[in-house]
Amino acid sequence: MNSLLQRSSRNFLWQHPWQLVLAILGIALGVAVVIAIDLALESSLNSFNQASKVYTGAATHRIIASDGGLNEKLYTQLRVKGVSHLSPLVTGYVKLAQADKDSFKVVGIDPFIEKSFQSGWQNGQKENVSPDLFTRLMTEPNTALLSEKTAQSLHIQLNGQLSLVTSRGQQSLTIIGFLPHTDAVSEQVLAKLIITDIATAQEVLDLFGKLSSIEIQLTNDAPKFEAAIRSMLPGNALLVSLDSQEHSLREMTKAFSINLKALGLLSLLVGMFLIYNTMTFLVMQRRHLIGSLRLLGVTRQQIFTLILSEAFLLALIGTLIGIVLGVLLGQGLLQLISGTINAIYFRIDTTALVITPFQLGKGMLLGMSVTFFAILLPAFEATRLSPVKVMARSQLESGSRRLIKVVGFSSGFLIIGGLAVAFFSGKSINLGLASIFLILFGFGLLTPMLTLCLMKLIECVFGRFLGVLGRLPVRMVSAEISRTGIAIAALMIAVSATIGMDLMIGSFRQTVAQWLHSSLPADLYVSLPGDKMGSDKFLFDQQLKDKIAQLEGVQMVSTALQTKLIAAGELTKTTVFELATKSKQSFIFKHSMDDSLWDRLENQPTLIVTEPYAYHHALQIGQKIDLKTNQGAQGFEVIGINADYSGDQGHLIMSRQIYQRYWPNLGYTGIGVYARAEADVQQLESRISQLLTTQQAVKSNQTIYKASMELFEQTFTITEALRWLSAAIAFVGVFSALMALQFERIRQLGILRSIGITSSQLSVLIISETGLMGLMAGLLAIPVGFIVAYVLIFVVYQRSFGWTMAFYFDAGTLFQGIVLAFIAALLAGVFPALKMAQTHPAEALRTE
């Protein structure tokens, strides 16, 4: 019996391959996006750890230093004091002499560090490499190891030469061996890595006498050793555990990750409508079959199980395909995501997509549960079908109308609840995003009811002009509201999310543009990279500044040094300014201030913090921040909070005069040049550029403005991409609903044809109906998009990044939203319309 039951339903499914494919596609796409984001994000974040396994292996702690680096003597001191299991590192980035190659990371190591570190590159060396490799690395100057693949792609043989560009010109390294990849360290991670001994790295990177970090392996007595080590560290050095370092990286990118994942969930939400639509279609189309089965004595329970097991199969197939698609998509997103992390958070050298069973399992669970949630209602509906009398579609519709009213009114609670969650959930980003989902879902549920109202309105207003035929599309939208409503809701959700994000990005863009304008007061900016640890850098920088200041046409100069200080046990970005009178106007304070602020900044241990920093650390004016100096901890009072959109972690701002009381002179990273009113800025620019070395550059404020805005746009590429994905899923949803719709009313269309409606009239009829649906979705999406934008700007982004921005209203965005919905619906309607127009009327009349 049971198997017969299943067969009868399966046969039916096979007769509707379209719906089947679309349902599976809906599940698959939703799952794919979620998995892709998860994989790409985790891989990007993990690559940071992965890479360090190559040269530090099992280290548990690390001594890091802010700019200025670690003196290599510290290493010997630690050893003398009995701290063992140490591994010194010198790291930095170089460019290859070959044109357009990315930078490579140079890692200088001690080849004879303890075996217990189990560093990746050592473990892999077995019989294929001669045992004296370490000795050669150590004793022969300018020798290095490179991954075999990279060597091949650069056409370097064993013992061949690798040419690098250093701050002192070109330098060659002899490749004496290849880095093997192991289970723990993938090929890609090694791709951009050059391993040398300490001395070679110091030479290549111009870091004589310095170390970048010291890796430590602490075992049993960790706390005791930690305290001992801490007591020996200079002011700019910090002992951190690798766990906590990883944790803080994750904290740093937390907001970014959550927002991305929310975008993935949006796709799944839209996909859910698709699944729901298909399952109701499959149930409704089989109401005769189910009715007959019930008559034969099949119980409700059995019908329910039947539908559920069908859904299980669909979900399983869809989810499996989704996982495969997700891995592929993840590969594509990887570059985008790691690129964004690179641009705004920290440097990711190389990334490879790492797939863990846990992540796949998570995606699987999500896909399956979302499907089950979506089919619960249609499954219950199926059990309700009366065995005696098969209900006509219109009867079912009147049933669903009641449902629509109930759902519509209760959706009000979802929306109000969502708004309440948005504004009364403290600092939680998750709850902020959850509120958006509640609001979107609430409006989605409200959509059918609003559609009914609007269709009534259209009829009242335009009915007279439309004629009977013209009224038909309007009627069809409301008559089959259980189908059309779903399609409109899915489209509305996708479009309002788009409008919301567009308004938010637009507002953000405006805010950033304004901020950039005011924060680039100088005419020209000289950037001075080159390693800040270089011992005599500050002398050259000082000379350069003086030369520039003396140039004709220069009114004044300001300087900036971007460095890191240890604030509250964390390396914290700090900008040290030597402000010209004009540069002071570039600050946009978040509070009222008077001119004494500048005086205090110059003469007392005080700080300005940026808005995000203040937000993340819950700081207020008057509070103190402890900074680590060579003379011990020193409290700095916060005297100002200023707007800054250059990073979401925020930073500290300090005057140079105060800085130099506590920390060594590291020169500058930038010089701002203010030209005299009558000076020719372009000429000045070329004159300055003659004073510069190849690694230094001078740029006009316009150029920097443009580059910054480009970076801004770049950080939203991924958002754009994901948004389009959810729009695509919504499109598939509308398409599937329309296909189902036409299929269900095929008899009715046959009657119309028999009355004398031509096939082209029929197409116009169907297209008008879908256009109307698109319009409805677009119209609804405007207020909803508006609310979404509002919550994004004032709740989610503020909590995520600590930024406040102004809401800029853009009518163009709203208009685009309507057009998008309209066109999407029209496009989705074209195929069903053509198919119906081509359906033979005699065939159409034979059904039902």
Partner 1 sequence: MDKPSAITIKQLHKSYQESAQQQVIFNGVEMQVSRGEFIVLLGRSGSGKSTFLNLISGIDPPDSGKIIINGIDISALSERDRTLFRRHHIGIVFQAYNLIPTLTVAENLLLPLELIKRLTRKDRDNVAELLDKLKLSGRLNSYPDRLSGGEQQRVAIARALIHDPDVILADEPTGNLDLDTAGQVLELLDILIKKAGKTMIMATHSQEVIGQADRVFSIRNQSLHLE
Does 475 contact partner 1 by CB under 8 A?
yes
Query: Which of partner 1, ligand ATP, none does residue 754 bind (CB under 5 to 8 Å by kind)?
Result: partner 1
Q: With beta carbons less than 8 A apart as the criterion, state whether 302 and 29 touch.
A: no
* Total of chain residues touching partner 1, rule CB under 8 A: 29
Residues for the chain: how many in total? 848
Q: What is the DSSP letter of 391?
A: P
Contact between 843 and ligand ATP by CB under 6 A: the answer reads yes
Residue written as tokens 């004589």?
208
Q: Rule CB under 8 A: is residue 660 a binding residue for partner 1?
A: no
Answer for which of 98, 394, 657, 693 binds partner 1 (CB under 8 A) is 394
**How is residue 656 written in tokens?**
């140079």
Q: Give the Cα separation of 492 and 499 in Å (integer).
A: 10
Residue 522 CA to residue 533 CA, distance in Å, equals 27
CA atoms of 204 and 337, how far apart (whole Å): 31
* One character per residue 823-842, x = contact with ligand ATP (rule: CB under 6 A): -------------------x
392 contacts partner 1 (rule: CB under 8 A):
yes
Q: Which helix (H) or strand (E) holds 754?
A: helix 746-755
For 661, residues 6+ apart whose C-beta sits below 8 A from its C-beta are: 605
Q: Name the helix (H) or strand (E) containing 216.
A: strand 213-216
8-state DSSP, 116: G
Single out the segment in contact with partner 1 by CB under 8 A; choices: 362-370, 463-471, 665-673, 785-793: 463-471
Task: Indicate whether 15 belongs to the interface with partner 1 (CB under 8 A).
Answer: no
456 interacts with partner 1 by CB under 8 A: no
**One character per residue 759-798, x = contact with partner 1 (rule: CB under 8 A):** xx--------------------------------------
- Minimum distance from CB of 391 to partner 1 (Å)? 11
Rounded Cα–Cα distance for residues 386 and 253 (Å): 55
Binding to partner 1, residues 478-507 (CB under 8 A): 479
Enumerate helices (H) and strands (E) in the chain, giving the number of each. Answer: 29, 20
- Residue among 147 and 839 whose Cβ is closer to partner 1: 839
Q: Which residues of 225-262 are buried (b: 16+ CB within 10 A; e: fewer)?
A: beeebeeebebbbbbbbbeebbeebeebbebbbbbbbb
CB of 515 closer than 8 Å to CB of 644: yes
By CB under 8 A, name the one of 73, 384, 758, 819 that touches partner 1: 758
> 347 or 840, CB closer to ligand ATP?
840
Q: Could you tell me the smallest distance in angstroms from the CB atom of residue 840 to ligand ATP?
A: 7
Place of tokens 């990315």: 102
Residue whose pair of structure tokens reads 């950039």 in the numeric block: 516
Residue 274 in contact with residue 26, Cβ under 8 Å?
Answer: yes
Q: Which of 544, 604, 613 is nearest to 575 (CA)?
A: 613
| Residue 747 makes contact with partner 1 by CB under 8 A | yes
Amino acid in position 736: S
**Alpha-carbon gap, residue 57 to 415, rounded angstroms:** 51
From the list 597, 583, 590, the residue with the least C-alpha distance to 518 is 583
Residue type, 417: G
Give whichever of 175 and 844 is closer to ligand ATP, judged by the CB atom: 844
Cβ at position 31, least distance to partner 1 in Å: 37
Helix (H, G, I), strand (E, B) or coil at 147: strand
Q: Would you say 475 or 547 has its CB closer to partner 1?
A: 475
Q: Does 819 bind partner 1 (CB under 8 A)?
A: no
Question: How many CB atoms are closer than 10 A to CB 83?
Answer: 17
- Under 8 Å between Cβ of 284 and 393: yes
Q: Work out how close the CB of 263 gets to ligand ATP at its nearest, in angstroms, rounded to a whole number.
A: 48
- Select the residue interacting with partner 1 from 227, 539, 751, 806 (CB under 8 A): 751
Q: Closest CB to ligand ATP among 387 and 841? A: 841
How many residues touch ligand ATP (CB under 6 A)? Answer: 2
Cβ at position 843, least distance to ligand ATP in Å: 6
| Nearest residue (CB) to ligand ATP, 4 versus 842 | 842
Q: Residue 845, interface with partner 1 (CB under 8 A)?
A: yes
Q: Is 460 in the site for partner 1 (CB under 8 A)?
A: no
Q: How far is the CB of 469 from partner 1 (least distance, A)?
A: 6
Would you say 469 or 549 has its CB closer to partner 1?
Answer: 469
Out of ligand ATP, partner 1, none, which partner does residue 365 contact, by CB within 5 to 8 A per kind? Answer: none
Q: Of 476, 487, 738, 777, which one interacts with partner 1 (CB under 8 A)?
A: 476
546 touches ligand ATP (CB under 6 A): no
- Residue 80 binding: pick among ligand ATP, partner 1, none (C-beta 5-8 Å cut-off by kind): none
Instruction: Using CB under 8 A, list all residues that contact partner 1.
Output: 392-395, 467-469, 471-472, 475-476, 479, 747-748, 751-760, 840-842, 845, 848
Instruction: Using CB under 6 A, list all residues that contact ligand ATP.
Output: 842-843
